Amino acid sequence: MFEILGYGFFQNAIIAGIIAAIACGITGSFVIVRRMVATSGGISHAAFGGVGLGYFLGIDPLLGAFLFTVGAAVAIWYLKTHELQETDTITGALWATGMATGVIFIALTPGYAPDLFSYLFGNILLVPYQDLLMMGLLLLLILTVVSIFFNQLAAVTFDEEYAEIMGLPVGGLTLLLFLLIAGTVVLLISVVGIILVIALLTLPAATARLFTRTLPSMMGAAVLIGIGTVFTGIILSYSLDLPSGAMIILVGAGIYAAALAGRHFSG
Amino acid sequence: MTAALLMEDVSVRYGQNLVLDCVSWEVWEHDFAAVIGPNGGGKTTLLKALLGLLPLSSGRISIFGHSPGEGRRMVGYVPQFHTFDFSYPITVTEMVMQGRLSHIPGLFRRYRDEDHEAAERALGMVGLFGVGDLPISTLSGGQQQRVIIARALAGEPRLLILDEPTVYVDAPTEEQFFSLIATLLDEMTVIIVTHDIGAISGRVNRIACLNRRLYTHGDAMITDDMLISVYGCPVDLIAHGVPHRVLREHDDV
């Protein structure tokens, strides 16, 4: 089976997987410690509206997804900080509205929507080269933002009220967290698809949390677990001829379950 | 003497709801002061106003002669213990250093050597040694409470404000807590906000009762009149002279 390493599509898949794993290890750690899993679910499902818009306008569906995730992040943040609604409620509304918008756009688009299934459930073995470039740039942006604001993001995710008392721009930092999620979601769509994004975003970080004691070590471990998860998932997908996105998620869930069981039974 | 805190006719309104009504109070430097009052009496609002997190509808607050926003760097705040997520992956030193963030200039807010030193000093002040590199989740409840206090002390405050510090804390921990506060009073002013009258009575030198309005006496005595005004009915207090009696004797035994 090592002959697949020589194929261009496989090399692209590995590069896409590593980029996605780094992004989801870092952003996912913030999502886990700040308990933003539901918010991330809302933002990622809203992306489907953007995919539909992409088909309708004839532009790259990933660009449409980017616009919609950023829009959803800003909307959730605005409604939350202005205390108009519970984050929970807004998230649910955006989740369904985004999906519905996508369905309508696709229905309005004449002809057949190619690759639709890939956007929903991912197909890392079909990631084109130009998507890799966009993913790489997005990852660079995420890494830059996190390294500049790390101390402040850590303070806000640990104790928001105290961060405000310390004079940190809590509103802006919260928006930044939501935008990090939006950017990471777009990165992950090619890998596991809109429906499964939430799992890859959270499983490696949740696993890492079980045996790490600081946020940076949690992020490092989550990145490594993520890379291992994606790599194993691709190999299994190829050798068993099963969908890659679903295999990656099942591997991630398996590792999480094993880590939980290991901790549980070792006391 | 310098006024650590000066409140003049402070009112705060949420919409139609008047939460603080013409509150005036003075706390002097090195006072150990307490604000008591029932839940919903405006204690949280008062705290937020003192920390400059809330606009006043009218009146003025000054902390060592500064507005609450400006005075914040002189204030150390200890929030309620049970609101904390102690499973968060962070070491004791890192958590305490977050109390330095208001002193660190620049976009990056990188911790400097002096911030590490201040965190070590603060941990020493609360009597925690050799735990700096441990994650906060591994400490006992009493140690965790002292870490929260150390975080406030790391900012080298002149005024320490504590929200319900004795709630969810067992009796030995409460004793340790008050002896710790006693050692801090040489260097700073301490204000406690609580509904736990039993815990603070006999320990503080200034008391105010808050239930929308603030009722004060010159000294630290809680009078029946104050309690009736604040709670609407007399509240049985543990007699000061009988510190170990918790319940009243039964008449029929």
pLDDT in tens, A160-213: 999 999 999 999 999 999 999 999 999 999 889 999 999 999 999 999 999 999
Closest residue in B to A32 (Cα–Cα): B88
Average pLDDT per run of 10 along chain B, which is 253 residues long? 90 92 94 90 91 92 92 91 88 96 89 95 94 94 92 96 86 87 94 87 88 77 62 45 40 44
Res B246: pLDDT: 37
CA contacts within 13 A on the Cβ side of B39:
2
Mutation to test the B interface, candidates A35, A36, A81, A165, most B Cβ within 10 Å: A165
Could you tell me the two tokens for A65?
């997804």
CB contact under 8 A, A214 and B89: yes
Res B240: pLDDT: 36
CA distance B72 to chain A (A): 7
Task: Tally DSSP H helices, then E strands, for chain B.
Answer: 8, 9
What domains sit in chain B, N to C, each tagged with a CATH number? Answer: 3-231 (3.40.50.300)
Q: What average pLDDT does chain B have?
A: 85
In angstroms, how far apart are the furthest CA atoms of chain B? Answer: 69
Nearest Cβ partner for A209 among B72, B89, B109:
B89
A interface residues, B as partner, C-beta within 8 Å = 33, 148-149, 151-152, 154-155, 157-159, 161-168, 209, 212-215, 217-218
Region A151-163: mean pLDDT is: 95
Task: Output the CA–CA distances (angstroms, integers) from residue A41 to A200, A203, B243, in the order listed.
Answer: 11, 13, 55
Nearest Cβ partner for A167 among B94, B102, B111:
B102
pTM as predicted: 0.88
Burial-class residue A6 by CB neighbours within 10 Å (0-12, 13-18, 19+): exposed
Map residue B72 onto helix, strand or coil. Answer: helix
Query: Measured between beta carbons, which residues in chain B are less than 8 angstroms from residue A158?
Result: 85, 88, 90, 95, 98
Nearest Cβ partner for B89 among A33, A155, A159:
A33
Whether residue A267 is predicted with pLDDT greater than 50 in this model: the reply is: yes
Res B127: pLDDT: 92
Res B31: pLDDT: 94
Closest residue in B to A157 (Cα–Cα): B88
Q: ipTM, 2 decimals? A: 0.87
* A24-81 confidence digits (pLDDT tens): 999 999 999 999 999 999 999 999 999 999 999 999 899 999 999 999 999 999 988 8
Residue A243: beta bridge partners? none
d(CA B233, CA A133): 71
CB contact under 8 A, A214 and B90: yes
Res B229: pLDDT: 61
Res B70: pLDDT: 86
Query: Measured between beta carbons, which residues in chain B are less than 8 angstroms from residue A155?
Result: 98, 101
What domains sit in chain A, N to C, each tagged with a CATH number? Answer: 2-260 (1.10.3470.10)
d(CA B116, CA B73): 18
CB contact under 8 A, B91 and A155: no
Query: Measured between beta carbons, which residues in chain A are less than 8 angstroms from residue B48?
Result: none
Res A103: pLDDT: 94
Query: Measured between beta carbons, which residues in chain A are less than 8 angstroms from residue B150?
Result: none
Res B221: pLDDT: 60
Residue B80 DSSP symbol? -
